[in-house]
Chains A and B, each alone.
Chain A
Amino acid sequence: MAEKNNLVMICIAILGVVTVAFGLADILVSAGGDGTELSILEIPGDMFRGGWGGFIVLFAGLFYLSGCKNVAEVHNASKVAMGSVLIWIMAGTDIFAMITESIPGGEDGPWFNSLSGFLGTYAPPYAPAMFLLPFSLVVVYYILKQERTR
């Protein structure tokens, strides 16, 4: 049991460190003014998604780190869950923005987007929160499972 808890703690701590790193990268890149693309990763350069959003990703990482020590305890579990909620807000709004962009056909195009244009909107690169989303889901699944057995 103790070994399992240690493993969970290490996993969440790693996720926390990566999330903090992504948050800092968002803030620093947006402070520079231009966005950056690294293969399928895109760090936005605008103050809204990069600056404001970067702070949220950073805080999500801090929530993970502050709650990772003993996730079996309900207050720590809530911090980790809240870190995931912040990631969902970021990734969720990114996905919603993609959906709203993918439907209309553009200024001079037809009313609705073509199938290739529609699918193309969902192609990479993605913002950091999108990469963190699956891990945040796993973390919350674990916490909810733990809550049910508590």
Chain B
Amino acid sequence: MKLGPDERWDLIDSIASQVVTYGKYRHTLKDAIGELTVKPMTGIPIAIAVLYGFWSVFGSFAGTLCTDGFFVKLFDGYWLPWLQGVFPGEGGWLYSILIDAGGMTNGEFILSDNCFEAFGVLTSGLFVAIGVVLPAIVIFYLMLTLLEDIGYMPRLAVLIDTVLHRIGLHGYAIVPTILSLGCNVPAVTATRILETRKQRFIMMTLLAIFIPCGAQLGIMEEVIPELIGYALLYLVIGYFIFGFILNRIVPGKSPEILIDVPSYQKPMIANVRRKLWMRVSSFFKVAVPFVLLGCVVVNVLYLVGFIQWLGDILAPVFVGWFGVPKETAGPLVAAFLRKDLAVAQLSVIEMTQYQMLSAVVLVSIYFPCVATFAMMLKEGWKELIGSVAVLAVVVFLYGGIIHLIGKLIGVA
């Protein structure tokens, strides 16, 4: 059957009258609140409050309740002493790798009294993976999922769009940026949300250098709670300064975006549960093997004297340029495998507060962990080489600047 133009319009009208409801639009309270969250004057204070809530819940749940409340007691009070007692060959190489690397005092092997110092695969490795990273990641992804499902994330993208344009990105770059605070690996994949190669390169480089992952944040919250704010401030400042520079020197386009902002809605528990499970399980598939492998490799490198050798070679740069003790060379090597482990290692090195702050920032910006490195390689070897080149320059410059700032304010 063939329809003429008038008959087709009649058919369209008849279908539309069945499926479309016409009514008078009324500006509701929900709409007005939605507008408040995207206007800079009102949206920025709200974003500041949301971030406060995010961080406060993260610290209370992961730090106070789970890690300090139960896991430290479980691992330091029961698991570590039990393994130290039952595992044979105290002081031997296998014992050092699996249970406790310990320390030597007057030629005598001294056992560690906590899992941060033991550095064995079955002690520190499990403690970091389960006792510190698991609660941090669970609460981080739970809150991120809630913000997404409520409908706040697109509004945050609109709000931050102007700022991110200054560094060659646009509002949607907030997605990989915030995902990266959980784990850099899915965040690298999420850079595909950006349209041009220039944007993806800038985003990948910035998140690999300046954004600490959830595991690292969890450890930072645990070992340097009083300095974490300053460390994050240095990272945020670096993110924008080097983003601005990259935008100027990297060729390519940074197009505008058009975002469809949905209305606020109540999150569905089944969706939240599914998303949370998917994210936490995929994180653990990537992270746990690297934490355990990291412990093994770092312990072996210590045992064969490689770290000591590297520390001696790099001492002039570490001490003179970065202003940190040469012993931080070890954690920096470990940082390539797991940055969270590296921060844990830093906590047992004797240094001033400012040196600790510098060292933590250096660990954060020094190199993406090997899992992120592999993910970046998957996105393109040219991008990876470019990012690593930028990273080398940034570490050297920014590390020196942080030391200089410390000297100028008289704390370094």
Interface residues of A (CB under 8 A from B): 47-48, 52-53, 55-56, 59, 62-63, 74-75, 77-79, 81-82, 85-86, 89-90, 92-93, 96-97, 99-101, 103-104, 107, 111, 143-144, 147
Contacts and interface: CB of A to CB of B under 8 A. Distances in A.
Contact of B32 (A52, A75, A107): A75
Given A78-B36, A82-B33, A107-B73, A89 B50 contact: yes
Contact of A96 (B32, B60, B69, B70): B60
Interface string B318-344: 000000000000000000000000000
B49 A86 contact: yes
Contacts of B28: 74, 147
A82 B92 CA distance: 62
B56 A103 contact: no
Interface residues of B, number: 29
B353 to A, nearest CB: 15
Contacts of A55: 45, 48
A90 B50 CA distance: 10
B42 A92 contact: no
A130 B55 CA distance: 19
Nearest to A73: B32
Contacts of B55: 48
A62 B48 CA distance: 15
Nearest to B76: A107
Given A89-B52, A147-B28, 16 more contacts: A48-B56, A74-B28, A75-B35, A79-B36, A81-B33, A82-B33, A82-B42, A85-B46, A86-B46, A96-B56, A96-B60, A97-B60, A100-B61, A100-B64, A100-B65, A100-B69
Contact of B64 (A77, A79, A101): A101
B64 A97 contact: yes
B81 to A, nearest CB: 15
* Residue of B27, B28, B56, B65 with most partner-chain A CB within 10 A: B56
B155 to A, nearest CB: 13
A59 B29 contact: no
Contact of A47 (B56, B65, B229): B229
A124 B271 CA distance: 38
Closest CB pairs A-B (n = 3): A104-B69, A78-B32, A100-B65
B57 interface: yes
Nearest to A58: B45
B379 interface: no
Nearest to B26: A150
Nearest to B46: A82
B53 interface: yes
B73 A56 contact: no
Contacts of B73: 104, 107, 111
A84 to B, nearest CB: 11
A86 B45 contact: yes
Contact of A56 (B33, B48, B60, B229): B48
B32 A103 contact: no
Interface in B207-243: 229
A143 to B, nearest CB: 7
Interface in B5-29: 27-29
B68 interface: yes
Given A93-B57, A100-B65, A111 B52 contact: no
A143 B50 contact: no
A93 B60 CA distance: 8
A90 B49 CA distance: 8
Nearest to A76: B32
A78 B229 contact: no
B69 A89 contact: no
Contact of B53 (A78, A93, A101): A93
B291 to A, nearest CB: 24
A143 B33 CA distance: 12
